[in-house]
Amino acid sequence: MLAKDTALYARVARTIDDFMCLDFTGVGLIGPIRVALARRQPGFIAMGAAEIIAATLTTKGGPALIATGFPEGGGVPETDGPVGAALIARALFLGFGVESVIVIDEDWAEMMAATCRGAGLAPLPFPADGVIRPVPFLRPVYIRTVPKDAEGCRTVADELLEHTRPQLLIAIERPGANANGLYHGLGGRPLDGMVGDLDYLFRTGKAMGLPFIGIGDGGNELGMGVIAEDLPAFSPKAADCGIPGRGGVAAATAAGHLLVANISNLGATGLVAALSALLENPVVFHDPELEVRAIEQCVAFGGVDGMFMAPEPAVDGLSAKEWEGLVRTLKLTVARTLGDSVNWKGDRGDWRQVK
């Protein structure tokens, strides 16, 4: 384990945070969001989340529960979120041997399963009794769907907490309800009837003492309630979506630890990078080609780019080719930052051999 409170730890943690928060999209929100988070949650963003995950999964095991899925026009899911969820699930299995349950709306199950296959995982049927058991010789992942009506979604949430008993909760690019319990896109459009109420699942789990990590990039995602009071100062629709009586788009539910990035999938990659460095295990950090394959699979089975609003192999306006370069750059930058201070052993590989 990479020693905490050392210059090397701080250097690699800062490198990852800085990379995640570069404004690649040019939208201009990530700068003030990061400043607001620093006031509310001091410390490293990605490495802080990695520390919580490592402390939880090494002592309590799994499973981990990961929620994702954000609808664009017509209720079609965007590529930002599902790709990151799949790659986080991969990292948790390779780093800790822990299985993940990805929670997503019923009509997006096929897309999520294909994305997981693209990320090098084997989607398996969710057990009838809800209990996750080890499966030899596979990288398993489970997909649990929820209906879009509030009562049905809450029933599934209660079953997950009672029978599946997750030890860790992660939400990535999942709509978060505002203070009135309503869901919105960042521009103010209502999402009524498009998503299940997973705020209930995460609020309940958090109240039970489960670690809750939220990943978002705009302020309307589940977990971003950490900075809800700060958002109106720089996000135009945070306090008022423009429709009388609905309130703003700012998410009200606060994560136990919030991870922000210019794009939520980039936050997932940053988290994977932090886990890989913390565990001193480069295998945990996927190759860039794998992320490209996950994006392509997501699109092939129904995902759309959130900026183009079309089935393009891209995420928030960044093409898959650009993503390949970003992931390769971050992976090699982390490798150079760690340098020869880490003594790699066994079959875990060597940072200097990363291609």
Average pLDDT (53-70) is: 97
Tell me, what's the pLDDT at 308? 87
Q: pTM value?
A: 0.95
Whether residue 252 is predicted with pLDDT greater than 90 in this model: the reply is yes
Residue 132 lies in a domain: yes
Pick left, alpha or beta for residue 167 (phi over 0 → left; psi -120 to 50 → alpha; otherwise beta): alpha
Mean pLDDT in residue range 334-339: 92
Decide: helix, strand or coil at residue 305: strand
- Letter string b/e over residues 191-230, b meaning 16 or more CB atoms within 10 A of that residue's CB: beebbbbbbbbbbbbbeeebbbbbbbbbbbbbbbbbbbeb
Number of domains in the chain: 1
Band (352; pLDDT cuts 50, 70, 90): very low
pLDDT of residue 336: 93
Quote the DSSP letter at residue 225: G
Question: Which residues partner with 336 through β-bridges?
Answer: none
User: Which pLDDT does position 347 carry in this prediction?
Assistant: 35
SS3 content of the chain, % helix, strand, coil (to 5): 45, 15, 40
- Per the listing, tokens 């136990």 go with 256
CATH of the domain at 129: 3.90.1640.20
* CA atoms of 63 and 169, how far apart (whole Å): 9
Q: Among residues 67, 8, 7, 6, which one has the least CA distance to residue 342?
A: 8
Q: What per-residue confidence (pLDDT) applies to 136?
A: 83
The per-residue pLDDT for 348 is 38
pLDDT value at 137 more than 90: no
CB-based burial label for 124 (10 Å; 0-12, 13-18, 19+): middle
Tokens of 237: 């629709």
- Comparing 59-68, 130-139, 155-164, 183-192, the range with the smallest average pLDDT is 130-139
| 248-276 mean pLDDT | 98
Q: Is the pLDDT of residue 349 over 70?
A: no
Where residue 349 falls (left for φ over 0; alpha for ψ -120 to 50; beta otherwise) is left
- Confidence class of residue 340 from pLDDT cuts 50, 70 and 90? low
pLDDT at 74: 85
Environment class of 350 (CB within 10 Å of its CB; exposed 0-12, middle 13-18, buried 19+): exposed
Q: What are phi and psi of 98, to 5 degrees?
A: -105, 135
The two tokens of residue 1 are: 């384990």
- H-helix segments, 66-171: 82-96, 109-118, 150-159
pLDDT, residue 52, reads: 98
Average pLDDT over residues 57-85: 96
Nearest 10 degrees: Cα torsion 320, 325, 329, 331: 50
Q: What is the mean pLDDT of residues 199-220?
A: 98
Domain-embedded: residue 2: no
- Domain, as residue range, for 295: 7-353
Cβ partners under 8 Å of residue 35, min gap 6: none
Band of the pLDDT at 346, cuts 50, 70, 90? very low
- CB atoms closer than 10 angstroms to residue 31: 14
- pLDDT tens for 302-334 read 999 998 889 999 999 999 999 999 999 999 999
In a domain, 1, yes or no: no
Predicted pLDDT at 163: 98
Residue 132 burial (C-beta neighbours within 10 Å; 0-12, 13-18, 19+)? buried
Instruction: Tell me the one-letter amino acid at 91.
Output: A
DSSP state of 213: E
Q: Is 252 helix (H, G, I), strand (E, B) or coil?
A: coil
In a domain, 341, yes or no: yes
Out of 209-218, 251-260, 330-339, which region has the weakest mean confidence (pLDDT)?
Answer: 330-339
Residue 103: enclosing H or E segment and its boundaries?
strand 100-105
What is the tens place of the pLDDT at every residue in 106-125? Answer: 999 999 999 999 999 999 99
Give the residue among 252, 160, 270, 145 at the shortest CA–CA distance from 210.
160
- pLDDT score of 339: 84
For the chain, give the mean pLDDT.
94
Per the model's pLDDT, the better-predicted residue between 138 and 229 turns out to be 229
Given a cut of 50, is residue 211 above it in pLDDT?
A: yes
What confidence tier does 73 reach under pLDDT thresholds 50, 70, 90? confident
CA separation (Å) from 323 to 71, 84, 265, 270, 290?
Answer: 21, 12, 10, 13, 11
Sorting pLDDT into bands at 50, 70 and 90, what band is 344?
very low
pLDDT in tens, 2-22: 999 899 999 999 999 999 999
